[in-house]
């Protein structure tokens, strides 16, 4: 065993003079780094020739949601721990789509294209910002209600949940996509 020798008082004084004035740190832990995906443009070019009939039903749901309502959907058979991580925003978000200002027709095409391209890039979790609907003429969340309906019908969507307040709250959803085989 090696014996550790304590520094002398003169060595301590010399060290303190050589490094200069110091101040105590509040915390020695760095915040965790979270990769934020690059935002997608609100309106993309028209790729309508690549779209077939979406097959989405636009029938109004029995219970329309309000701006403050939390969205949640999960297909049967998913692991509870995975769903908890999705709801807590703990899954890494690989892509983001901002739907503010889109019409329903454009939004529907963008959702189909966005989910398809995300699956092609092997992204499992995406964020879709739909807004709360305060700026709509109806003063109701038109895009939020339609997105809630469309995502439930999309075969590649396994689950979705409103995001935590720091990621948009009830104005955005995290979507868990089926893995590509």
Task: Return the higher-pLDDT residue of 21 and 164.
Answer: 164
3-state SS, 21-87, equals: CCCCCCCCCCCCCCCCCCECCCCCCCCHHHCCCCCCCCCCCCCCCCCCCCCEEECCCCCHHHHHHHH
For residues 164 and 26, give the distance between their C-alpha atoms in angstroms, rounded to a whole number.
27
The secondary structure of residue 96, as a DSSP letter, is: E
Indicate the domain borders of the chain: 76-181
Give 76-181's CATH code, choosing from 3.90.105.10, 3.40.50.720, 3.30.1370.110, 3.90.1200.10. Answer: 3.30.1370.110
For 8-47, the pLDDT digits (tens) are: 999 989 988 898 888 877 777 777 777 777 766 655 444 4
pLDDT band at 145 (very low <50, low <70, confident <90, very high): confident
Helix (H) or strand (E) holding 129: strand 125-129
Which tops the pLDDT comparison, 51 or 93? 93
């Amino acid at each position: 065993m090696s014996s550790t020798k304590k520094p002398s008082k003169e060595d301590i004084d010399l060290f303190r003079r050589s490094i200069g004035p110091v101040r105590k740190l509040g915390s020695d832990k760095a915040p965790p780094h979270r990769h934020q995906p690059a935002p997608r443009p609100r309106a993309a070019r028209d790729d309508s020739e690549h779209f077939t009939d979406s097959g989405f039903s636009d029938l109004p749901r029995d219970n329309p949601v309000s701006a403050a309502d939390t969205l949640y959907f999960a297909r049967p058979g998913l692991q509870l721990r995975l769903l908890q991580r999705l709801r807590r925003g703990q899954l890494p978000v690989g892509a983001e789509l901002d739907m503010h200002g889109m019409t329903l027709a454009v939004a529907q095409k963008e959702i189909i294209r966005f989910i398809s391209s995300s699956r092609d890039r092997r992204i499992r979790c995406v964020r879709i910002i739909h807004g709360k609907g305060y700026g709509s003429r109806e003063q109701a969340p038109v895009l939020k209600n339609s997105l809630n309906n469309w995502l439930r019908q999309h075969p590649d969507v396994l689950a979705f949940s409103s995001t935590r307040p720091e990621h948009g709250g009830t104005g955005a959803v995290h979507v868990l996509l089926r893995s590509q085989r």
